[in-house]
Amino acid sequence: MIEVKVLGTGCANCKATQKLIEKVCSDNAIPISIEKIEDTAQIMSYGIMSTPGVVVDGKIAHAGGIPDAKTVLSWFKSQCCPTDNDCC
């Protein structure tokens, strides 16, 4: 299972980013565990200065603004299909 953290204080962009990640993963049968982090100190501990931030398996994948679906899918391609990056 891929661990995803959405970092943000609860603004509309952060909520939209979380919903987009959930939809992309659901549509592509990518198993994730998603956590929303709203604590400012925790967010800053990742070095994220612009929200929403997204951390995938401990690595910063995105910061600032709502990503598009293609970008979200690219974060998971290597995890969901390690031998064929066209599978999902």
List residues with catalytic annotation: 11, 14
Task: Report the Cα 19 to chain-centroid distance in Å.
Answer: 10
Distances (CA, A) of 2 to 9, 12, 19: 22, 24, 16
CB 76 within 8 A of CB 56: yes
Strands 2-7 and 32-37: parallel
